[in-house]
Structure 1
Amino acid sequence: MTYEEYLDEVTTLIVEKYGVSDAVAIKIVVAAQDKEYFVAHDDNRAMRTLDRAHEDARTLFKASAPAGAGAKPAAKRPVRK
């Protein structure tokens, strides 16, 4: 996928997996771009895979506590006592 498609995929995965708004997910990805997180992805097409997008979405969401504040991860099964 192209670099732009990859960024879109990471953004979409953050929305879908962690229940944040599009605006919050975009802020997370833009902040990562500003910190040059995606430079290697731009240079190396082999890094732009769906599996890698899932890893990057998780990494970026976890690193974005202020931007993702109040966001809930995907629902888990309730624990039975």
Structure 2
Amino acid sequence: MTMSYEQHLDEVTTLITEKYDVADDDAIAMVMRAQADDFFSGHDDDPSICTLDRAHADARTVFRQYGKAGGRLSAPGAG
């Protein structure tokens, strides 16, 4: 079963919070940074890859590439 692009992003965010014990705001920030870097551009072009299995793989990759200090990020504007 495939999801919409937006559902896929939501699922990736949820998986990051559940798998890596990351706060919602931090997971959202990671996904937004990945999206800004065009990490998900293929998903938007080909919605057939927006599956639960792919969401698990994307959550792992986004956490590894965009998480800091074990996935903990500062809130936007904090500093």
For Structure 1 versus Structure 2, the TM-score category normalised by the shorter chain is 0.7 to 0.9
Superposed structure 1 runs of 4+ greater than 2 Å apart:
none
> Gapped runs of 5+ residues in structure 1?
73-81
How many residues matched? 70
CA deviation map 1:27-50 (0-9, x unaligned): 000000100011100010111000
Give matches, 1:10-49, under 5 Å. 10-49=12-51
Question: Which residue does 2:61 correspond to in 1?
Answer: 59
Instruction: Work out the CA distance in 2 between the residues paired with 1:70 and 1:58.
Output: 12
> Gapped runs of 5+ residues in structure 2?
73-79
* Structure whose CA Rg is larger: 1
1:64 CA displacement? 2.0
Considering only aligned residues, what root-mean-square deviation do their CA atoms show, in Å?
1.4
Question: Which residue does 1:50 correspond to in 2?
Answer: 52
TM-score for both structures, normalised by structure 2: 0.83
